[in-house]
Chains A and B, each alone.
Chain A
Amino acid sequence: MRFEDRVLVWRLNRGDATALSRVYEKYRADLLRLALSLLSDRAGVEDVVQDVFVGFAGAARTFRLTGSLKSYLATCTANAARNRLKAAARRTTASLAEALDVVGTAAGPDEWAMLSEEFQQVCRAMVQLPAEQREVVTLHLYGDMPFREIAAWQKTSIKTVQSRYRYGLDKLRSALNGEVTR
Chain B
Amino acid sequence: MKRHGDIERFLKDASIKTCDAMNERVRGRMREVYASSTSRPPNVWKLVFESRAVRLAAAAAIVTGTGILAVHLVTARKAAPVVPPMVAKSPLGRTTALSLSLAYKRGGMEAVDRLYEKATEERGPGPTALTIEELIAEDNNL
Contacts and interface: CB of A to CB of B under 8 A. Distances in A.
Interface of A: 12, 15, 17, 20-21, 24, 28-29, 32-33, 36, 46, 50, 53-54, 56-61, 107, 109-116, 118-119, 121-122, 137, 141-142, 166, 169, 172-173, 176-177
B142 interface: no
A82 to B, nearest CB: 20
- Give chain A's interface secondary structure class: helix
A57 B16 contact: no
B19 A107 contact: yes
Interface in B34-80: 34-35, 37-38
Contact of A60 (B1, B15, B37): B37
Interface stretch (B22-30, B81-89, B106-114): B22-30
Contacts of B35: 17
- Give chain B's interface secondary structure class: helix
Contact of B17 (A50, A113, A177): A113
B141 interface: no
A29 B12 contact: no
Interface stretch (B3-11, B93-101, B123-131): B3-11
